[in-house]
Chain A
Amino acid sequence: MHELKNTFLNEFRETGFAIAHADALDKLELIRRTLFEEAGNLCDAGDDAAAFMNEFHKREMSGAELNDFRMAIIRGFNERLDAGEVIFDAFQDSLLRLVGPDVAVQKSCNIVIQQPGDIDVSPIHRDAPPNSPFEVVLWIPLVDCYGTKGLSLLDRKGTNEVIADLRVAGKDGADKVYEKARRIGHRIEASFGTACFFWTGLMHVIPVNEEVETRWSLNIRYKNLFSPQGAKRLPDFFRILRLSPLADLAIKSERETAMDDR
């Protein structure tokens, strides 16, 4: 276990990303089951969460109807679960090693439903800037992801190359650079029960899903509470999730002074 964690940390340090297995798989199962139950309130979802998600495209939902469906399950999901807390519990050991004991988490967890052939995918981008480079993104597949069903990440070296190319590409040359980014990106193939941790400074590509199954995934960001912030800040984008005993003590002392409530 110790060796596995060291490999994870070394990979992350070297490339900017690494895949970790959940320390508590039951937490991920809880998330998937809750989403599935919320979906079941809106349609006949059957009795198998993974099958429902993988075969979701057969319902032929798209456009505004799909967005309304997604928003409805997100609302129900958020009323029932604190996703930031549950995901932290699922990957607690890896997260604590990366961000330390004083933890801030993104207030809302994003849920992505990527159906086969859907061309409405995010363009190639990196999160930082405008996010802080002191954040880590957790990309969490809720179904097994392979081939174009997953995402594609450029490592640190590839990201630096692409950014350097974009600086000199001009408007007419950007397409070629984006094509290169698609070519050199690392395909992330990850099963349910794992998460891909990646640095916000990495360029990433969401390919058009050319597989025969729908991808359901979550993404959420964590950072050390006291690390530098980006444009997405606390408390509008992030909230405090954990305080170390030392920070807790110090903040209580500050509160006593500020509120005169000793």
Chain B
Amino acid sequence: MIGNATMKVFYSSLDMMSAATMPSRLQHVVIGEMAARLGGTVSFYVAEDPAFMYEQYTLRARLALSPAMDGLIFLRLQQFAYGDKIDVAFMGEILDMGYEIHFARENLSIRSRAELKDCFPTLYAFQIHEGNTGENPLYLQHTTTDA
């Protein structure tokens, strides 16, 4: 635990593709509530450039600094599914760095490689149902190009 003896410290990652229906202020509220349920608080947040939702460059840059925190709370699982496939590899990298991963909308927590493995059928089912939806910027790019 990075915070004091009773309080965990999290970074949050907002979903800018949800901003039209769920403004940042509300995303902070929902993620903050998840942090409280996990016995912690949010100390810092990131928000990706909508052009690079799949790559999550902003978050990767922050993680490269090895910040002192216990884990990340994302608004929703979709943030790992803006490409053709859900980015399980990046989840694994985050876990390997010693950080927990939590999703507020789904009330889902992944704290280790073993939990990621156990959770894979759920992630895969999510990918089948949510992949290439209208919310997916890559999908939108393709349809724009095709048009």
Contact = CB atoms under 8 A, between A and B. Distances in A.
Nearest to B88: A258
Interface stretch (B11-19, B32-40, B43-51, B104-112): B104-112
Interface residues of B, number: 22
B1 interface: no
Contacts of A261: 117
Contacts of A104: 125
Nearest to A258: B88
Contacts of B52: none
Contacts of A254: 120, 124
A229 interface: yes
Contacts of A229: 129
B85 interface: yes
Interface stretch (A73-81, A206-214, A232-240): A232-240
A226 B128 contact: yes
B58 to A, nearest CB: 23
A225 B128 CA distance: 10
A60 B108 CA distance: 39
* Interface residues of chain A: helix, strand, loop or mixed (majority): loop
A255 B91 CA distance: 13
Contact of B120 (A225, A234, A239, A258): A258
Interface residues of A, number: 19
Given A258-B88, A258-B89, A240 B125 contact: yes
Given A255-B117, A259-B117, A259-B120, A233 B129 contact: yes
Interface of A: 104, 225-226, 228-229, 233-236, 239-240, 243, 251, 254-255, 258-261
30 contacts: A104-B125, A226-B125, A226-B128, A228-B129, A229-B129, A233-B129, A235-B77, A235-B106, A235-B108, A235-B125, A235-B126, A236-B105, A236-B106, A239-B122, A240-B122, A240-B125, A251-B120, A251-B121, A251-B124, A254-B124, A255-B120, A255-B121, A258-B85, A258-B86, A258-B88, A258-B89, A259-B88, A259-B92, A259-B116, A261-B117
Given A233-B130, A240-B121, 20 more contacts: A226-B125, A228-B129, A233-B129, A234-B125, A234-B126, A235-B108, A236-B106, A236-B107, A243-B121, A251-B120, A251-B121, A251-B124, A255-B117, A258-B85, A258-B88, A258-B89, A259-B88, A259-B113, A259-B117, A259-B120
